[in-house]
Amino acid sequence: MAFYSQHEVAILIVILGLVTLATRAGGYLVLARFKRIPAPLQAGLEAVPAAVITTLVLPPALTAGPAEMIAMVVAGFACLRLPPIAVIVLGIGLLVVLRQLGL
């Protein structure tokens, strides 16, 4: 396992922050050139949130134990009716309870 010094971690955080800032600014500058966003580009941009959620949820889902799987299924159904913050609180709360029960 690799260990990094606080100095290395601080440098990495600054670099990643600058990369994030550059991509956000670049995206804004590119989109600012359009008076209207073309339909294919709009469709692609609308697909980004689903892609991000899939990227975050799929790896744990493939390696999840029973507690994680139950919490994900309940949160998945809850997101059809509840606001996002309520789903997050419900999912994490349920996961904590299930882990305490030994699942």
Query: What is the pTM for the complete model shown?
Result: 0.52
The amino acid that residue 34 corresponds to is F
Residue-range domain boundaries for the chain:
1-33, 64-103
- The candidate with the shortest Cα–Cα distance to 88, out of 56, 44, 47, 66, is 56
Please tell me the predicted confidence (pLDDT) of residue 1.
62
How far apart are alpha carbons 100 and 67 in whole angstroms? 10
Q: What is the pLDDT along the chain (103 residues), one digit of tens a residue?
A: 678 889 999 999 999 999 999 998 988 888 888 888 889 888 888 888 888 888 988 888 888 889 999 998 999 899 999 998 999 999 999 999 999 999 8
How far apart are alpha carbons 60 and 6 in whole angstroms? 28
How far apart are alpha carbons 69 and 72 in whole angstroms? 5
